[in-house]
Every structure is written in C-alpha cells, then in structure tokens.
Amino acid sequence: MGRLIDNLNGAWTRLEKSFSETDTFYQQLIDEHIRTSTVTSTEDCSSILDILLQMKKESSDFTFDHIKAILMLEYLLSKCVLKNLLFLRYAHNFIVAATDTTTAAAVWVMTLLIKNPVSMKKVQQELRDFARGKRYLDENEIQQLVYLKAVVEAMRMQPPAPLLHRETIEKCELSDYDIEAKTCVYINTYAIGRDPECWENPDEFSPERFMNSNIDFRGHDYELIPFGSGRRICPGISMGATTTELVVANLLYSFNWKLPPGTSREDIDMATLPGLTFHKKNPLCLIPEIID
C-alpha cells in the first residue's frame, strides 16, 4: 500500500530522480579524481578517495558502487539519520566536523573582509565582472576567480581547526626533545600561520600575498596547513574548500554588506569560543543590500 501511494503522489519518481542525480555526481567526482591522480600504491594515498580507489584496484569485489555508498554516508550522517547509533559515533564526528569547520571558515572570511573594505571591493569587483548577469555562481565557475582564491588568507589568520593532533609512529628528536613512538602530539596551525619567520606582517590581512605565490593549503607547504598534511590530511579538503568559496562568492556577488547603524569596523572583535573548532565568540552582524 505504501509503495502504491508513493507511486501515485510522485514520491517514488522524485526519489529515483534524486538517486540518479546523486549517483551521477559521485561518479563524476570519482572519474575526475582518477584522471588527475598520480597515486600508484597505498603508500602514496593522501585522501580517503585515494584509499578507496586503491582498494578497488586490489580487490575485484570492491566496486564503484561501494565507493559511492561510502561517500553517500556523509550525506546520511550530516542529516543525523544515523547519529544516535553508538557504533557510528566516531564516523559521525569525523564527517559532520566538515560542516562545522566550513561554517566557521565562512564566518571568518566575512569577518576579515568587512574589516578590510578594500579587499572586500576587490573580490566583489572580480565576481561581478566575471559573472555579469548571472543569478548565482556555481562550483565550476569559482575555480577561475584568482582573487577569491587568494582570500584563503583568512584560513591562515583564523584556521577553523587551530590544533591538529597526530601520533608519532617512531621515536624521533625535535628541537633537542626526544619524542617516543606512539606519543600524541598537537600541531598549532594558528601559531604556524602567524609565524613572523614564515610570513611578512603576519597579523595583517592581505590576500595579495597569495596572488603570485606557489603556496597553497593542500598540505605541501607546511607554513599553511589548515587542513593538515600527509596521509592524515582532512579527507574533506576539496569539498570543504569549494563549499566555503561557493558560499562566500555568492554572498558577496548577490549583496553589498554594511554594518548596523552605530557600529564601526573597530567594534568587530576576533574573540573565539573555546573548542576544537574556532567559532566566533560574538556573532557577526551585517546588513545585506540587494544590488540592482
């Protein structure tokens, strides 16, 4: 009876359409990763998708459908469908964390831009010159925006996850300290991003420093590692970075932003809440103005 009602009201058709679109999206993601990947062995894997594709190479029983099912788990967990299952507790924390950090990153980008109106105007000008007449920008279009990409400067100054924890796999020496194997160590990405030995004027927000720089945040340059590095790099780095850029791009493209009456840029503080993710302690209050 339930299946009949679903067919009559169109719910089953909508479900099949949604599944088909989702399946196509994940297949395109996998195909693009295969085309650009240089991974030849498990030791070369730098992301969860690398590992899954390597598992497929090593086992004929492991198919693309299995890979897409694991990727789809992110959606299910983010909707909290499986949130209360104890055995998925750590998987839930692992995946939903991406939503938390992406939200924090977008807020910090908007905070730093509203405090720096020159940079705000530059990125808005780039967006509006590029997408003139469009209703919104999609994830493919934003890849061409150089200044928007340079706004990664916000992740240098306010990394959403300021502390990375790792475990040493063997005994080593660091700055005259002997560190035993299986020692839990914390890496302060906040301090690294503001290290005056690595950055000129480290406390100054300046996207221009990335305009002609080879430094990026994908784990190869240790002076900027908001997503970590090595095989334990954040597996959601591509989606997290793209989502943050997409949110910020459309907010800046569609609206002009101003402060509430009686408020100045000096009133905006950079205080953070305690926690594993750096959230702004005091909410960022802005007034959007729709552009013609």
Quick: pLDDT tens for 24-57: 888 888 888 888 777 666 566 667 777 788 888 8
pLDDT of residue 85: 43
Q: Where are the domains of the chain?
A: 2-81, 87-290
Domain 87-290's class? Answer: mainly alpha
pTM higher than 0.85: no
| CA gap 194, 217 in Å, rounded | 14
Task: Say how many CA atoms lie within 13 Å of 221 toward its Cβ.
Answer: 13
pLDDT of residue 276: 77
Residue 62 DSSP class: -
Those residues of the chain that have pLDDT short of 50 are 1, 78-95
pLDDT of residue 15: 78
Contact 69, 30 (CB under 8 A): no
pLDDT of residue 75: 54
Contact 39, 50 (CB under 8 A): yes
Contacts of residue 209, defined as CB under 8 A and 6 or more positions apart, other chains included, come to 150, 153, 199, 200
pLDDT of residue 259: 93
Q: Among residues 291, 258, 262, 282, which one has the least CA distance to residue 107?
A: 282
pLDDT of residue 89: 45
- Residues 168-183: b if buried by 16+ CB within 10 A, e if exposed: eeeeeeeeeeeeeeee
